[in-house]
Amino acid sequence: MFNGATDTQQTNYDSYENFEEAPQTNGPSDAFSAITQQDQIRAEPEKIRIWREEQQDRLEQKDKEEEQKKIDMRESAKKELDDWYKHNAEQLEKTKENNRASEAAFVKERDETQPGGEWEKICRLCEFNPKNSKNMKDVSRFRSILLQLKQTPLVR
């Protein structure tokens, strides 16, 4: 062909078909990652490494203390809640007993009859302390009549 080259002469380059592209990575390749890590360890001063280890120990200790405090607070809260429920149940029982006793006394007093004691019972149910309120009717005369009937009941 030209310059004395013939068709049978071989070329010293590969065709694009045999070309392989090297894979691209953003960080260090696996072959050099150990070296990079070793360089970082060497670059860190001894005092910083000691501080970092101590800081890690302190943080672990604080985490343990926090977990223990959480456990203690939960136990304390559970105990206080149980005590509150127990105290509440006791108060409820006492209230029930007092209500039963006062109801029994009221029923006994209500059913008990004495001649001439009717007005006295009525006066026990009424409140004789005067209340000065503009919205209420004047009941002072009614109170005075009840007190008079209590002292001198009507004769039948």
Q: Which is nearest to 122 in space by CA: 155, 98, 145?
A: 145
Residues 137-147, mean pLDDT to the nearest whole number: 79
**Domain extents in the chain:** 114-156
Condensed to tens digits (0 to 9), the pLDDT of residues 74-126 reads 999 999 999 999 999 999 999 999 999 999 998 988 787 776 677 777 777 77
Scan for tokens 């691209």, then name that residue. Answer: 24
Give the whole-angstrom CA distance, residue 119 versus residue 153.
7
The pTM is what? 0.42
Condensed to tens digits (0 to 9), the pLDDT of residues 18-68 reads 555 555 556 555 666 666 666 666 677 889 989 999 999 999 999 999 999
